[in-house]
């Protein structure tokens, strides 16, 4: 699999260091807000599974973890437009602070869809914690809810990246680093 990677953008150590910083920031914000009941970390499956696992182990607060799934991508590298919620929450988020955990924000379609969904379920605040952000690709400006904040790991250049949870056609998620896939592997 390593031979399919053109360039490593963030190594395992760089990822780990940045996740620690994000977790420290979230810990201090939520501690300051004296949030009770505990915040709900809602990870977007499947891409955020490694990020949320690393993040929640470093956040020093009682918290709840749940998953949602939203599909729009299929197996390609371009968003197919309007995403839909295809796996719903188990936890009731009414009156709870929610941190939506994403691997990467691209057009913003997925996040706006999920924020609308969580808002309709009565979350009292919605923050977003995205490991990567490709701001130049944004088409939809998602709106945080209540006193929600936007946490992001790194700004990502406009390449199709894989690893650390992110796939191409369901492959490469288990790579411990984030890299650019050689074009000959996505056709």
Choose between 62 and 74: whose C-beta lies nearer to Mg ion: 74
The one catalytic residue in 29, 106, 133, 167 is 106
49 binds, among ligand 5GP, Mg ion, none (CB under 5 to 8 A by kind): none
User: DSSP characters for 88-131?
Assistant: --SS--TT-EEEEEEEEESSSHHHHHHHHHHHHTT-SEEEEEEE
d(C-alpha 113, C-alpha 82), whole Å: 8
54 binds, among ligand 5GP, Mg ion, none (CB under 5 to 8 A by kind): none
Choose between 9 and 44: whose C-beta lies nearer to Mg ion: 44
165: left (phi over 0), alpha (psi -120 to 50) or beta: left
Q: Does 106 participate in catalysis according to the annotation? A: yes
107 binds, among Mg ion, ligand 5GP, none (CB under 5 to 8 A by kind): ligand 5GP
8 A C-beta contact, residue 73 and residue 103: no
Size of the site for Mg ion (CB under 5 A): 5
Residue 44 in the binding site for Mg ion (CB under 5 A) = yes
Choose between 29 and 106: whose C-beta lies nearer to ligand 5GP: 106
Phi/psi of residue 180, each to 5°? -95, 130
Contacting residues toward ligand 5GP, per CB under 6 A: 44, 47, 72-73, 79, 83, 102-110, 160-162, 166-168
Write down the least CB distance from residue 144 to ligand 5GP, Å: 15
What lies within 8 Å, CB to CB, of 46 at 6+ separation is 69, 165, 167, 173
Q: Record the tokens describing residue 112, joined without a space.
A: 């706006």
Just list the catalytic residues: 106
The residues binding Mg ion (CB under 5 A) are 44, 47, 73, 103, 167
């Amino acid at each position: 699999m390593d031979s399919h990677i053109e360039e490593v953008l963030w190594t395992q150590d760089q990822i780990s260091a940045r996740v620690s910083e994000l977790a420290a920031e979230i810990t201090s914000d939520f501690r300051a807000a004296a949030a009770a009941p505990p915040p709900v970390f809602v990870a977007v499956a499947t891409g955020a599974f490694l990020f949320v696992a690393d993040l929640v182990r470093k956040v020093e607060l009682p918290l709840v973890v749940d998953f949602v799934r939203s599909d729009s991508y299929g197996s390609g590298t371009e968003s197919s437009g309007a995403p839909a919620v295809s796996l719903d929450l188990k936890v009731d988020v009414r009156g709870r602070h929610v941190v939506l955990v994403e691997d990467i924000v691209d057009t913003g379609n997925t996040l706006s869809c999920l924020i609308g969904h969580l808002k309709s379920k009565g979350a009292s605040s919605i923050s977003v914690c995205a490991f990567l952000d490709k701001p130049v690709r944004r088409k939809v400006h998602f709106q945080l809810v209540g006193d929600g904040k936007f946490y992001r790991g790194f700004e990502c250049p406009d390449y199709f990246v894989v690893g650390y949870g992110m796939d191409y056609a369901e492959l490469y998620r288990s790579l411990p680093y984030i890299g650019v896939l050689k074009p000959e592997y996505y056709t």
